[in-house]
Amino acid sequence: MFCRTKKRSQNSSTGLADFQKQVYSLIKKISKGRISTYGQIARVLGRPNSARLIGRILSKNPHLIKIPCHRVVKSDGQIGGYKLGIRKKAQLLKKEGIKIQRDKILNFNQIIFKF
DNA sequence: TCATTGGCTATCA
DNA sequence: CTGATAGCCAATG
């Protein structure tokens, strides 16, 4: 009788698979020479407390060619992490005209990408 | 202004 | 359950 069930585990409410796709979609939109932050991505997608999750997702599935995940950094201007190392990340960013010193973005405030 | 602490999120060892 | 991650934020001293 009652067909109950569905016991959706906690992850239905978060919709993780969907969340990942949205993360990738969003990051692909970041223009060259601009950056965003893990927290900002999380907020735009409606998960203000899941900044850390963004980093996890990117590290798990870095489609380095299609998705410019090197343009996503920490909210305080630090580089964050990168599959190939933060040195590599810094190099890529510099190439796009972003000024970095001691693994920190100097003009962070001016190049932040607004969705 | 800086350093520390605790809470959040999801996953793995 | 604990600790550790590509983090963020507010509170505290």
* Predicted local distance difference test score (pLDDT) of residue A43: 95
Q: What is the pLDDT of residue A62?
A: 81
CA at A49, C1' at C12: how many angstroms apart? 21
* Cβ A109 vs Cβ A73: under 8 Å: no
pLDDT of residue A103: 87
Nearest nucleotide (CA of A69 to C1'): C6
Q: Closest Cα partner for A63 from A23, A15, A6, A12?
A: A23
Q: Which of residues 30-69 of A touch strand B (CB under 7 A)?
A: 47, 49-50, 52-53, 56
What is the pLDDT, as a whole number, of residue A5?
Answer: 30
pTM for the full model?
Answer: 0.88
pLDDT confidence of residue A15? 82
Largest CA distance in chain A: 66
**What is the bridge-based pairing of β-strands A36-37 and A72-73?**
parallel
- Work out if A75's Cβ lies within 7 angstroms of strand C: yes
Are residues A30 and A71 in contact, defined by beta-carbon separation less than 8 angstroms? Answer: yes
What is the pLDDT, as a whole number, of residue A78?
A: 93
Residue A77, pLDDT score: 92
**Regions of chain A short of the pLDDT cut 50:** 2-13
For A98, the 3-state DSSP assignment is coil
pLDDT at A82: 94
**Tokens linked to A57:** 């997702």
| Predicted local confidence at residue A9, as pLDDT | 36
Which nucleotide lies closest to A77 by the C1' atom and the CA atom? C7
